[in-house]
Chain A
Amino acid sequence: MYSRAYKSLVSVPPLLWVALFLLLPYVLMFAHSFWAVQQGVIVHHWNLNNYKTLFAKPLYVEVLFRTMRIAASVTCCSILLGYPLAYFLSFHARARKELLYQLVIVPLWVSYLVRGYAWKTILGSDGVLNGFLQYLHITHEPVAFLLYSPFAVVLMLTHIYTPFVFLPIYAALEHIPRPLVEASHDLGANSFQTFFRVILPLSMPGLLAGATFAFLLTLGDFLAPLLVGGPSGTMIANVVQSLFGAAFDWPLGAAISVFILMLTISLLFLSEILEKRWAYK
């Protein structure tokens, strides 16, 4: 039905744009990762040193593992918060289901910065939480580890990503035909058994999608550590950011970025395979 001219007209501009402004920049970044810095200038000496540095230097390895741990923690916590909420809304909320759903979505539209800043004001030594605890005489001094620690980063990012994780899980739960739940009860399974044998397996694709999203976005986040992480809460993206800033070493920064990019693509690929395997009709 569509002429060749039509098809060319719709395909060419986005293809060109994407090639120029997405593909080419990635290629450039890839190229940079093989170059070096000499006396404050980037020189095009092709080498693999940057990658060696990434995996050899203890500092970088440590930060990398810390980042993975934080990403895993955020993912787990978001699921622990988001899944029961999605389950409650899908199976137990009645008249107010739609309203509650919108209420969960609202924070997604609210600025990341706003929410991160909110945590900063809450967790600080002079912050609201400490003030609250002291007001109730639960503590007598500010609790230190609340702010400027990996704990704060996990807390903040869990807050940000719980609604993100909620969405695909809720969608998957809503797609489970209710007669299946009734059939399970009919055959003698109580709610607990029904959840683990029927509902959870059928919601896996949604769970996986949400988990992947939370994990990958946390992996590359450099703002949360800057806001609430402090020195002990630095993540790999901060390392990159400083290499493009004060610590001027673009090739090394590019190498780490390429590594993050490869990691992201691999995890996406893995996630997609698993999703296909676990998707039942």
Chain B
Amino acid sequence: MSSASPTRRAPFLALYSVLVFAFIYLPIVVLVVYSFNREGVGGFPPRHFTLNWYAQLLADGSIWDSVLNSLFVAAASVVLSLTLGLLAALALDRATFPGKALFRRFVLLPLILPGLITGLSLLMFAVFAGVQLSLITVFFGHGTALISVATTELFAGLQKMDCAQEEASLDLGATPWQTFWRVTLPNLKLSLIAAGLLIFTLSMDEIAVTFFLIGRDNTLPLEIWGRLRRGITPEINAVSTLIFAVSVALIVIWYHVRTRSLGTQAQELIERP
């Protein structure tokens, strides 16, 4: 029996919400539509459908090189951030040490700090250490900045975990090392996947930090950025549309992973934000 009040009609609010949705989605829709427009990016209405821009995109070597670079950096960042983030989350959950509160805030700082600051400070560090700028420095930048994402997500996952399970494991004779691999990590599976997906996406899209740490080889966002400085072409619409499609695909995959591994009952628990 439902005990919630029935939702009342609120026509103006509904209309307003529709308009806000439109505001959020229209630019992307326009972008996608014009990637198929023969006349290019501006003007209205789009008249001639073409796939030329996509063809041009496919033939564009430097874009695909930059995609590979981005993938390399993103993958490496995921590994680094998850590892250190997991350790940091465990430390915050289980250990006490002087300056712990400070450490927690510090780790979370790159999340809220403009990428400019993180990027510049790491640039100065690179110069100081005499390191040449390259994809490696970009990797260090992403990996470091995104530890905060991993820590937040994994810490939440640890809090939700029933620590009695670890106690049970130790009670049954497993060593802490075994317990970690057999009990802790599987329990964190969902958080690890969530964090991993998020870090991957953020790294693929990262510009601000990358801007200052990039060497000769471009990542995808910076390659696009460079072209923008030279002028707008619908090829950029095409690559943007592809990026959008991949992002949506990732969300859908994430959603399926989440609902499948938790089942419908527990799903109601996570539906609560």
Contact = CB atoms under 8 A, between A and B. Distances in A.
The answer to whether A and B touch in the complex, with CB atoms under 8 Å apart, is: yes
A7 B97 CA distance: 9
Contacts of A89: 17
Nearest to A27: B121
B272 A88 contact: no
A176 interface: no
Contacts of B45: 131-132, 135
Contact of B42 (A6, A114, A126, A170): A126
Interface stretch (A43-51, A54-62, A98-106): A98-106
B20 A13 contact: no
Given A15-B103, A94-B7, A244 B212 contact: yes
Contact of A178 (B4, B90, B240): B4
B144 A106 contact: no
A110 B109 contact: no
Contacts of A118: 27-28, 30-31, 240
B34 interface: yes
A112 B272 contact: no
A265 B192 CA distance: 29
B106 to A, nearest CB: 6
Contact of A227 (B24, B107, B112, B228): B228
A227 B236 CA distance: 14
Contacts of A81: 20, 23
Nearest to B229: A226
A264 B117 CA distance: 11
A76 interface: no
Interface string B103-125: 10011011011111100111111
Contacts of B94: 2, 6-7, 10
Contacts of B95: 2, 7-8, 10-11
Interface residues of B, number: 84
Contact of A1 (B123, B170, B207, B250): B170
B210 to A, nearest CB: 11
B244 A6 contact: no
Counting chain A residues whose Cβ lies within 8 A of the other chain, the interface size class is: 35 or more
B13 interface: yes
A25 B124 contact: yes
A8 B219 CA distance: 36
Interface in A40-94: 81-82, 84-85, 87-89, 91-94
A15 B88 CA distance: 8
Interface in A201-225: 212-213, 216-217, 219-223
Given A1-B167, A22-B109, A118-B28, A88 B116 contact: no
Given A25-B121, A88-B14, A237 B114 contact: yes
Given A1-B167, A111-B221, A114-B240, A220 B16 contact: no
- Listed from nearest, the 3 A-B pairs whose CB atoms lie closest are A220-B114, A131-B44, A25-B121
Interface of A: 1-3, 6-11, 13-15, 17-18, 21-26, 28-29, 32, 81-82, 84-85, 87-89, 91-94, 98, 101-107, 109-115, 117-122, 124, 126-128, 130-132, 134-135, 159, 162-163, 167, 170-171, 174, 178, 181-182, 191, 212-213, 216-217, 219-223, 227, 237, 240-241, 244, 250, 253-254, 257, 260-261, 264, 268
29 contacts: A10-B88, A10-B90, A18-B147, A21-B122, A22-B109, A25-B122, A29-B124, A82-B20, A88-B10, A92-B10, A104-B21, A107-B24, A109-B251, A110-B244, A110-B247, A111-B204, A112-B207, A113-B205, A113-B207, A114-B240, A117-B228, A118-B30, A130-B44, A159-B23, A162-B23, A191-B8, A241-B211, A254-B120, A254-B124
